[in-house]
Structure 1
Amino acid sequence: MPQLDTSTWSITITSVVLTLFIMFQLKILKSSFPNNPEPKSTPMLKTSMPWEKKWTKIYLPLSLPQH
C-alpha cells in the first residue's frame, strides 16, 4: 500500500502548501480594493434632554479636585 510509505509525505505536504500559498497570493493581487473613504465632517447637533442637568448636578462634586 503506497499510502503507508512515509518517505514521500514531506515533499507532498510541502508542495501542496507552497502551491496553495502561491495561488492565494495571486488571487489577492488580482483583487481590487476600493479607495479609502475620506473622513466627512458632520455637524454635531446638541439636543437638550431634561435629565442632563440632573446628572450634571449629581456628578459635578465628584469631578472637583480633592485635597
Structure 2
Amino acid sequence: MKSEIISPMPGIVVDVLVNKGDSVLAGQDAVIIESMKMENPLRAPADGTVADVLVAKNDNVAMNQVLVIIN
C-alpha cells in the first residue's frame, strides 16, 4: 500500500533524511522543513520502502505538496 509524506504547511526543505530505496519505520523522520522560522520534522506515516523522493534540500514547498512516496 502506498503512503505519502505531505507538507502540512508552506516552507523550505532544510534536509532530506531518506533516499530512494531506503527502508523506513512509521514515525521515522524523513524530511525537515522550515516554516515561520521553525524547523518541523515530517515523519513516515507507515513502515515501508522509499519509492521516490520528490524534493531536495532548499526546495520551496507548498501546503499539501507530496514530498516522499513510501511503498
Give the TM-score range, shorter chain: under 0.3
The structure that is helix-richer by fraction is 1
Compare the two structures and name the one with the higher strand fraction.
Answer: 2
Considering Cα pairs closer than 8 Å and 6+ residues apart, tell me whether 1 or 2 has the greater RCO.
2
TM-score by length of 1: 0.16
